[in-house]
Chains A and B, each alone.
Chain A
Amino acid sequence: MLRKARSVFWLAMFPVILLLSGSLSPVWADEKADRRYQVNMEPGVTAVGADIFSLHMLIFWICVVIGIVVFGVMFYSIYAHRKSRGVTPATFHESTKVEIAWTVVPFLILLGMAVPATSTLIDVYDTEDAEIDILVTGYQWKWKYEYLQDNGENVSFFSNLKTSQEEIYNTDDKGQFYLLAVDEPLVIPVDTKVRFLVTAYDVIHSMWVPELAVKKDAIPGFINETWTRAEKTGIYRGQCAELCGKDHGFMPVVVNVVERDEYDAWLADKQAQAAEIAALMEQTFTMDDLMARGQDVYNRACLACHGANGEGGVGKAIAGSAIAMGPIDGHFDIVINGSRANAAMQAFGGQLNDVDMAAVLTFQRNAFGNNMGEMVQPIDVYNYKQGQ
C-alpha cells in the first residue's frame, strides 16, 4: 500500500518536479536522496507506528474514493449540464430521502473508522511495563535526557544542535544531517519498551521522532508519559514540534537505537564518565586547559544568544561586559542562577557541571578582549554554590 500511495503522489507531482529539478535544481547535493521526494508518512520501526501508518492509509484511501465519487459527479455535471449545451435547468430542490441517505451513510463510514482508531489510541496510551525510564526535559533550545536508575547514579546529559552557525548562515557547506545532528544523541536499546517522562524547564516544547511514533508535549511543571519500542537499530531523527521561541527550529531530537549489550556498555561508560567528572572537580586546571574547554562549552551553551565573538544578539554582549569584567560573584550569579529580569538568560547551574562552569566563566572573562587574566577553578564554583 505504501509503494502504491507513493507512486500515486509521485505521478501526480511528476511534471512539476521535473520542471523544477531541471531548471532550479539546488546546488547543495542532498546525500540522503531517498528522502528527498518523500511524500508520505513512514511506518517507522515500531508496531504502534505501523498501526498508525495503516490507519493513516485507510482513511486516506477512503477519502480518495469519496473524492473520486463526489468530484466525478460534479465534473460530469459541469461537463453535461452547462447552458452552452442548450439544456433547460431542472427545478427540483429537495428530497428528504436523499438528505437522510447522505447523513446516515457517512455516519456509518465514520463508525468504521472509529473502531481501529480507538484500538490504536489505546496502544499509544499504554505506558505500562516499560523496562527503561528516561526523563526528557525541553530547554530553550536543547534537550536534557536523564536515565532514571533503580540502583546506581542516574546518567544525565544535554543534547545540543551540532550544526554550526556557519552552515546555518551559509558561509559553510551544509552537512548531510543539516539541522538534524546533535552532539550527543539519546541512546536506547532495540526491542525494549522505553518510557519517556516528558517535561520542560521553561516554555512548552514537544518531543517528536516520526520513525519511533513518538510525539508528546513537554510542559513546564507537568510530566507527560509516552513510550516506544524500536524494532530495528539505527539513528532516528526528529525535531521539536511546538513553537518554543527563537531557536525552535534548531533543537533536534536524535535517538540512537542500539543492541542491548551495546546499550549496557554505553550506560556503564556514561556512569564512569560521571565518576570522572567528580574526580576532575577536585583538580586544579591551567589557564590553557580552562580556555580550551571553556571555548567548547561557550560554543554549545552561550553562542546562540551571545554571538560567536561575544558581540551579543538575543543576549547581551559579553565582550566588554560589566558582568564578565566585574566582580566574580556577580558573574557566578547570572550564569548559575539566570537573570530575574530576563527569562531568556537561563540558570545554567543545573545544566553545566562545575568543571564546565569554571571553564566557561574563565573563557568569558578572558576571551573577546576581556583579558581579566584570572582563572575560575571547579572548586570556586563548588564553593559559590555551597555558599548561597
Chain B
Amino acid sequence: MGDHHHGPAKGLSRWLFATNHKDIGTMYLWFSFAMFLVGGAFAMIIRAELFQPGMQLIRPEFFNQMTTMHGLIMVFGAIMPAFVGLANWMIPMMIGAPDMALPRMNNWSFWILPPAFLLLLATMFMEGGGPAFGWTFYAPLSTTYAPPSVTFFIFGVHILGLSSIMGSINIVATVMNLRAPGMTYMKMPLFVWTWFITAYLLIAVMPVLAGAVTMMLMDIHFGTSFFSAAGGGDPVLFQHVFWFFGHPEVYIIILPAFGVVSQIIPAFARKPLFGYDSMVYATASIAFLSFIVWAHHMYTVGMPIAGELFFMYATMLIAVPTGVKVFNWITTMWRGAMTFETPMLFCIGFVVLFTIGGFTGLMLSIAPSDFQYHDSYFVVAHFHYVMVAGAVFSMTAAVYYWLPKWCGKMYNETMGKTHFWISFIGFNVTFFPQHFVGLAGMPRRIPDYALQFADFNMMSSIGAFIYGASQLLFLYNVIATIVGGKPVSDEKVWEGAEGLEWTVPTPAPFHTFSTPPQVR
C-alpha cells in the first residue's frame, strides 16, 4: 500500500464524490431502504382504504396513484437498488477485486437515482395528480388519458433506466476483468453468477423500456400514434413492448435473490451447495426463457391461438429450471448440520413462500385457467409471494448475514428472529387470503369491493399493518447494531461461511484486496 492510499474523505464529499464500492454500496442500501419505507407507506394507505367496503379515507383517483406509485417505487426504488447495493458491496469482495471496474460511473449511476425518484414523487403534487395508470402504465390510459405529470414520469423512468444500465455495465466489466488469479468462472460464488446474468438481462431490456416510454412521449407531445388505433397504431403494441421488458424484469429482481439464498443456506447447513454447476445452468436457462414468455401477461388481449399456445408452453417450461433450484437448496440442507440464525430463517421462509408463489405461477401459466385468474387478486397474491417473500426476504437475509462483516458488530439475534416471525406471519395473513378473493372474482386495482370480499380484505389489511410494523423493528435493529452492537473481530463471522469475503478483516476495511488473493 503506497502513501497515496488513505481512508475515506471527510464529511459530505465522502459520499458525494464516492468512488469506493463499499461507500456506494452503503448509499444504495440506505436509499433503497428509504424507498422501501415510502412504498410501504403507500401500501399501508391502500390497505387502510380496503379495510372495509365503501370509500373511507381517500378518493378513487388518489387510490390509483397509490397503487401506481407503490408498484413503481417498490420495483425500481426499493428492490432493484437494494440488490445493486449488495452487488457493489459483495462482488469485489467475493471475486478478490480491489473495487468495481468503473468507480466513477458507479458514483454517477447512484447519484442520478435520488433525483429520479424525487421527480417521480413530485408528480403527486402536480396539477391533475401523479401517474394513476398502474405500474404497467398501459396505453392509452397512460397517454391520451393521462394527467400532464406523465411527462415527468417518463423522464424519471429514463433516468432510472440509465442508472440501471450503467450499474450493469459496471458489474459485467468487474466480473469479466477483475477476478483474482485462479477465480475461474465456474468457481465464482453463485451470488456473483446470478448478478452477472442479471446484468446482461438489464442491459438487454432497459433500452426496451426506454423505447416504450419514448413512444409514449411522442404520442403525447409530437402527434405520433404508436398506441392509438385512430392513427394506425395499436394499444396492444404497448403491452408487447412493455412486457418484453417487464418479464425479464421480474427475473432481474429474483435472480440475485436466488444468488443470496445459494450463499446463505450452505453456510448454515455447514455443507457445500448441492449441484453448483446445475445452479449456474438453471440460472442461465431461466434468463433465456425470460425473453420468450412475455405475452403470458396478455392472455386475454385476443392473441391468435397459436401465439397463446406458444407462450403457454414456454412459460410452463420455466418451472423446470426453477424446480431444479429449489431441489438443490433442499438437498443442500439434507444431512447438513443446520443452525437457524436470522439469515437462515429468512432463507427457509424464502424457499417455502417462493415455492408457493412458483406453484401459483404454474397455475397462471395455464392459459385457459388464466382467463379466470387474469387481473384478479389471485395475481396480486402470486406476485407478492415471489416479490416480497422472494426478493425482499432474501434481501433481508443478506443484510443480517453480511451486516457483521460490513460494520464489525453483531446484530441482536433475538430481535432478528422476532423480526422474522412477525414478518412471516404478517406476510401470510396479508397475502394468503388474497388468493381466495381473487378466485372468488375480485379484480385487482379496485378502490372498493363487493360485500362478499369484506372479511378476507379486512384480514389482509390487518396482516399488512403487522408486516409493515415489523419493518420498523428491522430498521431499529440495524441502526442499533451499527451504533452499539457487540463488536465481532473474527474474519469468519459465521462458522460455516465460505468465500473470499470472509478472509478479509472484520469490519471490512475501506480498501480490500489491493493485492489480489490467490484462489486455488
Partner of B440, one of A40, A174, A250: A40
- The answer to whether A221 and B230 touch across the interface, beta carbons within 8 angstroms, is yes
Residue B11 interfacial (CB < 8 Å):
no
Bound-state CA distance A246–B332 (Å) is: 50
Contact B338 A93 (CB under 8 A): no
Alpha-carbon gap, A206 to B134, bound state (A):
15
We find that the number of chain B residues with CB closer than 8 angstroms to chain A is 100
Within residues 434 to 480 of chain B, which ones have a CB less than 8 A from any CB in chain A?
Answer: 435-436, 439-441, 443-452, 454-456, 458-459, 462
Within 8 A of A (CB), among B410-444: 429, 432-433, 435-436, 439-441, 443-444
Instruction: Kindly specify which of A24-32, A152-160, A256-264, A351-359 makes contact with the partner chain.
Output: A24-32
B208 to A: closest C-beta gap in Å: 20
CB 8 Å contact bits of B356-395 with A (1 = contact, 0 = none):
1001001100111101101110000000000000000000
B-side contacts of A224, CB under 8 Å = 301-302
Q: Hey, which chain B residues are within 8 Å of A125, CB to CB?
A: 305, 308
Q: Are A106 and B138 in contact, with the CB atoms below 8 A?
A: no
Contact stretch, chosen from A75-83, A143-151, A270-278, A328-336: A75-83
Beta-carbon contact of A113 and B372 below 8 Å: no
- Known contacts A28-B454, A81-B334; A179/B319 CB under 8 A: no
- The closest CB in chain A to the CB of B332 belongs to A93
Residues of chain A contacted by B270 (CB below 8 angstroms):
83, 89
Q: Does B173 contact A (CB under 8 A)?
A: no
Q: Mark A83-118, 1 if CB is under 8 A from B, else 0.
A: 110011111111100110011001100100110011
Contact between A84 and B436, CB atoms less than 8 A apart? no
Q: Are B368 and A93 in contact (CB under 8 A)?
A: no
Most chain B C-beta atoms within 10 Å of own C-beta, residue among A87, A219, A221: A221
Q: Evaluate contact between B436 and A38: CB separation under 8 angstroms.
A: yes
Beyond A77-B334, A245-B64, A249-B60, is A169–B54 a contact (Cβ under 8 Å)?
A: yes
From A17, A21, A168, A343, contact of B144 by CB (8 A): A343
CA distance A90 to B320 in the complex (A): 27
Distance A203 CA – B143 CA, assembled complex (angstroms): 10
Query: What chain B residues lie within 8 Å of A244 (beta carbons)?
Result: 141
Bound Cα distance from A21 to B340, whole angstroms: 35
B356-A106 in contact (CB<8A): no
Interface string of A209-246 (1 = CB under 8 A from B): 01001011101111011000000000001111111111
- List 24 contacting pairs A-B, 8 Å CB cutoff, sorted by A: A13-B432, A16-B459, A17-B455, A20-B458, A26-B458, A38-B440, A40-B439, A59-B369, A77-B330, A77-B336, A81-B338, A99-B324, A168-B54, A170-B54, A203-B138, A208-B375, A215-B372, A219-B235, A221-B229, A241-B375, A241-B443, A242-B375, A246-B132, A249-B445
Query: Residues of A at under 8 Å CB distance from B?
Result: 9, 13, 16-17, 20-21, 24, 26, 28, 30, 32, 35-42, 48, 51-52, 55-56, 59-60, 63, 66-67, 70-71, 73-74, 77-78, 81-84, 87-95, 98-99, 102-103, 106-107, 110, 113-114, 117-118, 120-125, 140, 167-170, 174, 176-180, 202-204, 206, 208, 210, 213, 215-217, 219-222, 224-225, 237-250, 314, 343-344
